């Protein structure tokens, strides 16, 4: 095959590219320049996509003897990921920029360009597995290494994208084995730290970054009954489930910690309350996709597990696709998946309550190790009250 190896500058993508070369394919390496103002150096394991990362990727490609290019996707990354991140926080939602990057950049823009250039598949260093199901269709599965499994952030991939994707590290027993392999190959990234935090906020100060981008205006912190408990310096800096940084100044009447229950961007208010008030029994999202073939009857309840965080535990659930509300109402909210009777949304009911789930997060459905599909959460239903919390 003619293979495009997406090389981030880290050890995983370098070893994935090396394995593609070993398999006898025609491999070309590419590094994505995603920032318009890239820093010159990393800070330890914080951040990625820097000039240093590009140089590391080039050195790995040179060692493997494959052509190497840098593709500038900074403008599209700014629009589709960074601007989306800001807009979601302004709307009181909790976005996942890694999901948007995988969806709109790495497996949409890059794959589209790769296919146009005549490549057959795109190889990345993600820890996930693609298998052929009994019906002959490709399926996305968890990696062999649970601790490194990245199938959650790949849950946005469609059947067409899976048909042109390859994850050579999916069956590798451990990250230590990948590092050892890199060292044996002479790759200088063998001991390079894994990146973490949001790549475009490498110092980890999300609150400060948002304040600089969207501004911050003092507002009220309320309890569930609407009583004013204190003030904050900008609602966009808060997320549902947050405990630290409330700075109310005095304890709750029962002495228990307070958590953010709701963010109201229109009124610049933050609602707080006890931890048990975070529990939800149902979630739903109109923007949903299937990772491969959809269930045979998606409009009937089917058993599954749902995961709402990249490193969270899956919980037992049931799900189905429903039509909810007038099409116009949800279309105004930016949802295009509509019918003449309303919007089609994926509804998930959990067997046991989930804590701290916020609109904007991604819910990924699993059946065993297989990723079935995903949705961006628009609304949740409380497990302790009949209140519906809409975005």
List the end-to-end C-alpha distance of the chain, in Å, as a whole number.
45
Buried/exposed code over 227-238 (b: 16+ C-beta within 10 A; e: otherwise): eebeebebbbbb
Q: Can you tell me whether residue 57 is helix, strand or coil?
A: helix
Q: Rounded CA gap, 47 and 49, in Å?
A: 7
The widest CA-to-CA distance across the chain, in whole angstroms, is 68
Catalytically annotated residue among 48, 49, 98, 101: 101
Tokens 């790949």 correspond to what residue?
154
Catalytically annotated residue among 48, 49, 98, 199: 199
Residue 291 near residue 157 (C-beta atoms within 8 A): yes
The reply to whether 199 belongs to the active site is yes
Residue 196 DSSP class: B
Q: Rounded CA gap, 109 and 117, in Å?
A: 12
Half-sphere exposure of 340 (CA within 13 A, CB side): 0
Active site residues: 101, 199
């Amino acid at each position: 095959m003619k293979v495009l190896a997406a090389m981030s500058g880290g050890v995983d993508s370098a070893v994935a590219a090396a394995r593609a070369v070993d398999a006898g394919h025609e491999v070309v390496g590419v590094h994505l320049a995603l920032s318009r103002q890239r820093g010159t150096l990393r800070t330890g394991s914080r951040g990625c996509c820097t000039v240093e990362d590009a140089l590391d990727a080039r050195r790995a490609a040179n060692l493997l003897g494959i052509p190497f290019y840098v593709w500038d996707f900074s403008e599209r990354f700014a629009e589709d990921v960074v601007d989306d991140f800001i807009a979601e926080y302004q709307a009181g939602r909790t976005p996942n920029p890694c999901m948007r990057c995988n969806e709109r950049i790495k497996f949409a823009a890059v794959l589209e360009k790769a296919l146009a250039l005549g490549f057959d598949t795109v190889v990345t260093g993600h820890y996930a597995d693609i298998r052929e199901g009994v019906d002959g269709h490709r399926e996305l599965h968890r990696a062999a290494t649970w601790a490194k499994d990245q199938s959650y952030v790949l849950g946005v991939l469609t059947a067409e994208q899976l048909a042109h994707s390859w994850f050579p590290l999916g069956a590798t027993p451990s990250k230590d084995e990948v590092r050892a392999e890199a060292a044996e190959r002479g790759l200088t990234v063998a001991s390079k730290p894994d990146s973490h935090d949001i790549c475009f906020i490498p110092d980890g100060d999300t609150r400060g970054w948002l304040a600089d981008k969207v501004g911050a205006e003092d507002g009220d912190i309320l309890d569930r009954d609407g009583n004013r408990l204190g003030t904050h310096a900008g609602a966009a800096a808060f997320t549902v489930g947050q405990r630290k940084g409330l700075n109310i100044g005095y304890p709750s009447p029962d002495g228990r910690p307070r958590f953010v229950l709701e963010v109201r961007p229109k009124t610049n208010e933050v609602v707080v309350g006890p931890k048990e008030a975070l529990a939800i029994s149902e979630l739903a999202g109109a923007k949903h996709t299937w990772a491969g073939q959809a269930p045979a009857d998606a409009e009937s309840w089917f058993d599954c597990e749902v995961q709402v965080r990249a490193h969270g535990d899956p919980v037992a659930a049931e799900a189905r696709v429903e039509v909810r509300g007038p099409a116009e109402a949800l279309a105004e909210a930016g949802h295009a998946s509509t019918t003449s009777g309303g919007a089609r949304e994926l509804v998930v009911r959990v067997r046991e309550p989930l804590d701290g789930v916020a609109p904007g997060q991604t819910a990924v459905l699993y059946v065993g190790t297989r990723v079935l599909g995903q949705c961006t959460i628009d609304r949740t239903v409380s497990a302790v009250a009949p209140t519906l919390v809409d975005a």
